Amino acid sequence: MSTQLHQALSQLLGERFTTADYERQQHGKDESSLTPMPPDAVCFPLSTEEVSAIVKLCRQYRTPMIPFGAGSSLEGHIFAPHGGVSVDLSRMDKILRVSAEDLDCTVQAGATRQQLDKHLRSMGMFFPVDPGADATFGGMASTRASGTNAVHYGTMRENILMLTVVLPNGDVITTGTRARKSSAGYDLTHLFVGAEGTLGIITEVTLRIQGVPEAISAAVVSFSSFESAIQAVTQIRQIGVPIARIEFLDEVMVKAVNQFSGLTLVEQPTLFLEFHGSHASVKDNAEQVGNIMREFGGSDFKWAVNQTERAALWTARHNAYYASLVYRPGCRALTTDVCVPISRLAECIADTKRDLEQSFLVAPMVGHVGDGNFHMLLLVDPNSPEDHAEAERLNERLVHRALAMGGTITGEHGVGMGKQKYMHAQHGAGALAVMRAIKQAIDPENLMNPGKMLPPL
């Protein structure tokens, strides 16, 4: 980074600009198993106007910019492979507006899911996209995140109405409207949702919100085999029984969750379920699902009805990543993220488990099986080249297996740096050329989060 840019950013932001080694290191690592890549400096803007000013200065001095939220990425999205300035939006955390009548709200990009949910709950509402980590909304929008509720409420893509975005030249645009539908022009909102900060920096997000259901019930059911569990899920989806969450844990993950979270689940392939609606509809839907589960050999439901029990259950599910690490103290997890058509899910998991039986690595599995998305957490010694090579081999086999089944390399974590090498296999040369043309048109100098998503030519 040039001396001139250093002086200009310091003058603009004062103590909210730093080149301290501690901050640089913190902003160059995430939750992935990838090697950290710190930026040259870190900025902490408080407004869209300050982000615009930072971007204009970085462009003037041809310096890369890397948007940063909570640092909870699993694919190296916030790394700085070419150096540059990390633009940390965490202090832009205001909830700007909530409309109970229209069921929408606007937040700054640094606001977090848990922060918004706490605010909304006092008003009888909630935001349904729940990726587990207490991510920022800028990061959730940029990676097109989803989570345990996506099977019923959709992903970030379906729950974003508008964005405020700072473009690579510093211009500020607003995309979309608060109207629930529009057929006016290109859909710019959904161009930036999932762009991983490569086209601009999202500073405000307008979201759909929901009323808290009259009744919520959660349950656990175990099976003698994962095939039976997946077949039951497929049947539930086919007949259209409404279900808010339906999560799968294999027997390895159940053991880890029991140990980490103090649960006493039967150590078999297990489904966590949740029903939302009126008292009558929840009762009826649960009975239908219970009957289907028993047809496929599932156990009787173990219910978690009150808020404390439900919170314990879903906290344990969201802590699955950390629970898996108990198998190898000091290890890191390479997390896969394929998503396949539900009809191919059991086959995909079976083939993957056969690979694991022939490997020396341990890899618990967990997934949002209601929409065909599952994760294998490959536990590796960060100092072992053999472990990393084996994890990459297993991951590559899984990725190509998913693509052959009509699936995708990533259902919700995004591409970042970790999955770049598979983009051509999924999209082909023609589609990648269109993506590169979009990037070139909006960011011709390749300063906005360079080295992410699009593979090098």
Region 212-240: what's the mean pLDDT? 94
Kindly report, residue by residue over 97-109, the tens digit of the pLDDT. 999 999 999 999 9
State the pLDDT confidence band at 384, using cuts at 50, 70 and 90: very high
The one-letter amino acid code at 311 reads: A
193-211: burial string, b at 16+ Cβ within 10 Å, e else: bbbbbbbbbbbbbbbbbbe
Residue 85: enclosing H or E segment and its boundaries?
Answer: strand 85-88
Kindly report, residue by residue over 3-43, the tens digit of the pLDDT. 999 999 999 999 999 999 999 999 999 988 889 999 999 99
The CB density around residue 256, as the number of other CB atoms within 10 Å, is: 28
Confidence at residue 80, expressed as pLDDT on a 0 to 100 scale: 98
Q: Mean pLDDT, the chain, as a whole number?
A: 96
| Domains 95-211 and 215-322 belong to one CATH topology | no
Please tell me what DSSP assigns to residue 298: P
Kindly report, residue by residue over 296-314, the tens digit of the pLDDT. 999 988 998 788 889 889 9
Would you say residue 132 has pLDDT above 80?
Answer: no
Q: Pick from 173, 200, 43, 204: which is nearest to 108 by CA?
A: 204
Between CA 227 and CA 73 the distance in angstroms is 31
CATH number of 3-88: 3.30.43.10
Domain 95-211 coded CATH 3.30.390.10 = no
Q: Pick from 296, 269, 274: which is nearest to 285 by CA?
A: 274
Cβ-based neighbours of 168, under 8 Å, separated by 6 or more: 55, 59, 65, 199, 200, 442, 443, 445, 447, 448
Between CA 360 and CA 358 the distance in angstroms is 7
Give CA separation, 413 vs 147, 180, 275, 390, in Å: 10, 26, 25, 21
What are the sequence ranges of the domains in the chain?
3-88, 95-211, 215-322, 325-413
Kindly report, residue by residue over 228-285, the tens digit of the pLDDT. 999 999 999 999 999 999 999 999 999 999 999 999 999 999 999 999 999 999 999 9
Strand partners, 142: none
Region 212-223: what's the mean pLDDT? 95
Vertex 405: Cα angle to 400 and 406 (nearest 5) = 100
* CA-CA-CA-CA torsion sign (233, 240, 217, 284): negative
Per-residue DSSP letters for 205-233? EEEE-EEPPSEEEEEEEE-S-HHHHHHHH
CATH top class, domain 325-413 = alpha beta
- Is the pTM higher than 0.85? The answer reads yes
CATH-assigned architecture of domain 215-322: 2-Layer Sandwich (3.30)
Q: Take residue 119 and report the two structure tokens written for it.
A: 């605010």
